Amino acid sequence: MGVDVSLGRGLDVALVEDGRVLGTWARVGNEGLKELLTELRPDAVGIDAPPRPGLGLLRDEEERRRLAVPPAPGRHLDRRIAEYELSRRGIGSHQTPKDESRLFSWMTAGFEAFIAAAGAGYEVYLGEGSARGSAFEVFPYASYVAIAGCLSPGRRWRLAWRRAVLDQTGLLDLPDDARIDTVDAACAALTAERFLHGAGSWVGHPREGVIVLPVPELRDAYHRCAPPDAGGTRGVRRARAAADPRLCECGCGSPVRRRFLPGHDARLRARLLTEARAGDAARRELERLGWLHFLEEQGVQGGSSNERSEAAADPMASDGTRQRPITRQRPIDGDKGVQGGSGNERSEAAADPLARR
């Protein structure tokens, strides 16, 4: 079973078994959740919220040093370790501080949902022992990213992208008109099922709390997904493999996050402008990179090399009119810090604006 937490709208609940949605419930209260768990007796329940405040473990230098990738000094002090492990991979999340006066209201609503689950016999799972018959924290946005292999393409595609990721898993019978809260509840239930079947994992610290995930292991980093309307399997693409990094377009072979290393674009442009005066290959490369206007600004017209040389010799066209240089526009290179709200709103808010909670 999966639960999406919202302070204003109540809880959205989904029941998943063997990759099929058996039922969904909206605007459920804590007593309603307790009754559903008592009646349906799912193997476990994943709740989209922390079970309790953080312990401030990342304020302890010893705890920080124990991590595989320790945070930078003075950073992430109010995050739980689970949230830091997601954040460092690009999966943004709100922090769950130790100071209860600084908690978001949806977090306290989540605490109450865990209390309701415990009332039905589902105690909190913190990473040790069997998770069967327990309640544990899930984070649907992190689940989507882990399954898709890439980050959300943006708020414009929030619902479409989520459904595309669940379709990718083969999940059946999710209603076509399901609201985003119901979709997230189904994702939470699917995450719980995968974890119980040995196909999941968790991040965090048993003293403080863990976040359960639907994959055996997270990647070290995630790139942005293509939008669902950009082709492919409904727009879901896997992140670029580590063995196939993006390389500088100047041809130097250096890995880059953008198109060029600093200064390498100017160096390549100068070389291509020189070569373009002697042939078409460099001109085509200038056009691909969006730099053709530099060539035109230097007085070299379009067309083949012979046509360009003729135009330079005689600026009058064959019909007696003066040729004007072709001009092109230069291409431009290039989601809640609010109390309350549902889990899907949280998932596109923090560091990336696609972050949690």
Label each residue of 281-346 as H, E or C: HHHHHHHHHCCHHHHHHCCCCCCCHHHHHHHHHCCECCCCCECCCCCCCCCCCCCCCCCCCEHHHH
pLDDT of residue 16: 98
Q: The pTM is what?
A: 0.68
Q: Rounded to the nearest 10 degrees, what angle do helices 158-169 and 180-196 cross at?
A: 30
pLDDT of residue 245: 53
Up-side HSE of residue 337: CA atoms within 13 Å toward CB?
A: 4
- Token look-up 């865990």 returns 114
Query: Which among 67, 57, 81, 139 has a CA at the least distance from the CA of 106?
Result: 139
Contact of 176 with 246, CB cutoff 8 Å: no
pLDDT of residue 267: 82
Contact of 282 with 270, CB cutoff 8 Å: no
Beta strands in the chain (DSSP E): 2-4, 11-17, 20-28, 45-47, 123-124, 134-138, 201-205, 209-213
Count of H-run helices and E-run strands, the chain? 12, 8
pLDDT tens over the chain, length 357 residues = 999 998 788 999 999 999 999 999 999 999 999 999 999 999 999 999 999 999 999 999 999 999 999 999 999 999 999 999 999 999 988 899 999 999 999 999 999 999 999 999 999 999 999 999 999 999 999 999 999 999 999 989 999 999 999 999 999 999 999 999 999 999 999 999 999 999 999 999 999 999 999 999 999 999 999 887 765 334 444 433 333 456 777 777 677 667 778 888 888 888 777 766 666 667 777 777 777 777 767 664 444 333 333 333 333 333 333 333 333 333 333 333 334 444 454 544 443 444 445
Distances (CA, A) of 286 to 215, 279, 296: 43, 12, 11
Contact of 188 with 48, CB cutoff 8 Å: yes
